[in-house]
Each structure stands twice: as structure tokens, then as C-alpha cells.
């Protein structure tokens, strides 16, 4: 049994720890509100060392901050108070259509005002863009989660429709169930319900039309109120200009993005590596998963030191075109 003095000390320590945690919780709640305002009104997304701060989860925000000690130059976890201060400064600035990594700002001891001025100068008007997912397999469903997990905004990418092959009755319920449950990524932290009357799915309060079609060229997207759309083809069926060009024959389509390596003259693009080469191209590819995994690292190494030759080993998930 502890002596009274030691017990009092221990009790006081626990009270201090609880008080500190409660204070961090309150800061996280305040941070969530400012982050939502930033996203909705200024189209600004905030990350912490590359990881998105979940505006619906206090626990996730606290956990992300706790594990930043290994990434911060001083070996200490980033304080939520520091993140909150920068985010408040962002909300009072004229920065729009930008992504700001507060972890990198803090770790590099950057001048926040100067960094925000640079972000403001580089920011562009990010008007709403209608998005159509052509295909609703694994990639399509994860894209749906990414597009609709954030708070709703009148700017940026707006998922309007999903196109799948004609299916029997009950297909909408099956699609909704697959969206909600994933064996790798877990459950979807949001609401999903079926709108049978309008042949669509309500995801976090936003209606997404489900269109059944056998071929891209037979769809008139304008009939669904969709125009100048970006079609993201994640079926893997078409990988050349002739096949993917069918999307451009549809009314209401402006550009096409393929989520697999493309052939012919279609550019395979990795963001921040060669994304500046897209130009006026109407069809581009997001390249392969392996390419996206290794190319950013190779670019940094090559730009800084140069690469003469190399060998890459990859461990890949089992895919449906392989014999088990």
C-alpha cells in the first residue's frame, strides 16, 4: 500500500494528465470546426505530414498528433495548439484552392505568414467540376470514399454519377453494401442509403446517380444535369485512345482519366513528377500503382544525386487476373 504522500502525488499526476487530455480534446474540437470552414469557404485542405486531418473524429486528430514525434525535427510531437494556431491564421488569410501541410511548416520552422503568402500566390480558382466514375470496382469505391468523406463544398471535384453495366434487381443495394464494407480499408465512416425511386445512392447526404450502360458512347450525361465532366475510367477495359475516346463522344464529357497504365500516345502521369506535362490533353492516365509508389522517390534521388541504374522489387496484392 502506497504511503499517503505518494498516493496524493500519484492522484495529482493522474488529475493533471486528465486535465491536459481534456484540454487537447477541446482544442481538437475547435480545430475540426475551423478545418470545416476552411474547406467549405476557401477550398483549403490541411494535412499533417501528408495525412488528412479527419474533421469528424477527435480521436483521429489526437492520434495523428501523438505519432508526429518521429517526423518532427526536434523529436517532439506536434502540439495541437500549434496546429490550431496555424489553421486559424489560414482561415483569416486570403488563401484559396490550396493544400497546406502544417506538419512540414512546423518541422521546417518556416515563417507561417511568408508560407501562406506563397500559397495564396500559387492558389488558383478551383471551380466545381462534375465527376463521373465509369466502373465501380475496388478503385471506384475507394475513389468514392475519398471524394465524399470530406465535408460538402460547392467547389472542387463533385461526384455526380457512377456508371456500371446493366444488372438485375437489387443491384443498388449490393453497390451500397460494397461501398460501406471493405475487407482491407474497413467500414466507411459515413452514411450510405439507396434511393430506388431515382436510381441512385445517397452518400453523406449527397445524391450520386447510378447509370446503367453497355458502352460509354451511348450515354447523354446532360440528361442527368451533368456537363463538362471529368470521367474517371476505372474498369481497365479500354487503355488506348480509340477505346477511351468513346467517353468523349458522350454528351457532357470534357476529359477522361484512366486509373491504369495507358498505351499509345496517352501520357502516364504521376502527380508532382510530370503532371505539368498534361497541357490540353483530353485523355490522360494516372499510371500504375507501382509507378506511383516508386517514381516520387526516384525523382527526388535523381534530382539530388542522379541515378545510373537500379532494381526495384515490389510486393503486390493478389489481383483477379492471376491464377491463385
Q: Could you list the active site residues? A: 289
Q: How large is the C-alpha radius of gyration of the chain?
A: 23
Taking phi over 0 as left and psi of -120 to 50 as alpha, with beta for the rest, 49 belongs to left
Sheet holding 229-233, edge to edge: 192-195, 200-203, 206-212, 157-164, 129-134, 229-233, 253-258, 283-285, 267-268
Q: Measured between alpha carbons, how far is 224 from 215 in angstroms, rounded to an integer?
A: 17
Q: Measured between alpha carbons, how far is 14 from 97 in angstroms, rounded to an integer?
A: 43
Task: Give the cell for residue 205.
Answer: 447526404
Neighbouring C-beta atoms of residue 172, cutoff 10 Å: 18
The answer to whether the CB of 107 falls within 8 A of the CB of 77 is no
Q: Measured between alpha carbons, how far is 133 from 247 in angstroms, rounded to an integer?
A: 11
Q: What is the DSSP string of 192-260?
A: EEEETTTTEEEETTEEEEEEE-SSGGG-BGGGGT--SEEEEE-S-S--SHHHHHHHHTSBTEEEEEESS
The answer to whether the CB of 204 falls within 8 A of the CB of 152 is yes
Q: Give the single-character DSSP code of 67.
A: G
Task: Give the cell for residue 193.
Answer: 442509403
* 60 sits in which H/E element: helix 58-66
Amino acid at each position: 500500500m502506497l504511503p499517503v504522500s505518494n498516493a496524493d502525488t500519484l492522484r495529482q499526476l493522474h488529475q493533471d494528465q486528465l486535465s491536459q487530455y481534456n484540454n487537447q480534446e477541446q482544442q481538437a474540437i475547435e480545430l475540426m470546426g475551423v478545418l470545416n470552414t476552411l474547406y467549405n469557404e476557401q477550398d483549403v485542405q490541411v494535412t499533417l505530414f501528408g495525412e488528412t486531418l479527419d474533421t469528424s473524429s477527435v480521436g483521429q486528430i489526437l492520434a495523428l498528433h501523438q505519432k508526429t514525434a518521429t517526423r518532427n525535427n526536434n523529436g517532439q510531437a506536434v502540439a495541437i495548439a500549434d496546429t490550431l494556431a496555424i489553421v486559424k491564421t489560414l482561415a483569416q488569410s486570403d488563401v484559396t484552392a490550396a493544400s497546406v501541410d502544417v506538419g512540414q511548416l512546423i518541422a521546417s520552422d518556416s515563417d507561417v505568414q511568408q508560407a501562406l503568402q506563397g500559397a495564396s500566390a500559387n492558389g488558383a480558382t478551383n471551380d466545381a467540376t462534375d465527376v463521373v466514375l465509369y466502373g465501380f470496382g475496388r478503385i471506384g469505391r475507394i475513389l468514392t470514399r475519398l471524394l465524399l468523406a470530406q465535408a460538402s463544398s460547392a467547389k472542387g471535384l463533385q461526384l455526380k454519377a457512377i456508371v456500371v453495366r446493366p444488372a438485375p434487381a437489387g443491384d443498388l443495394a449490393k453497390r451500397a453494401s460494397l461501398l460501406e464494407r471493405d475487407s482491407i480499408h474497413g467500414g466507411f465512416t459515413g452514411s450510405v442509403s439507396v434511393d430506388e425511386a431515382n436510381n441512385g445512392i445517397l452518400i453523406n447526404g449527397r445524391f450520386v446517380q447510378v447509370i446503367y450502360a453497355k458502352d460509354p458512347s451511348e450515354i447523354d450525361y446532360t440528361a442527368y444535369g451533368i456537363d463538362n465532366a471529368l470521367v474517371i475510367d476505372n474498369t481497365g477495359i479500354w487503355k488506348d485512345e480509340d477505346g477511351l475516346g468513346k467517353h468523349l463522344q458522350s454528351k457532357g464529357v470534357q476529359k477522361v482519366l484512366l486509373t491504369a497504365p495507358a498505351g499509345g500516345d496517352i501520357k502516364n502521369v504521376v502527380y508532382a513528377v510530370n503532371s505539368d506535362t498534361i497541357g490540353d490533353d483530353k485523355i490522360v492516365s494516372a499510371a500504375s500503382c507501382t509507378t506511383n509508389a516508386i517514381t516520387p522517390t526516384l525523382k527526388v534521388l535523381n534530382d539530388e544525386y542522379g541515378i545510373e541504374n537500379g532494381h526495384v522489387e515490389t510486393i503486390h496484392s493478389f489481383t483477379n487476373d492471376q491464377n491463385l
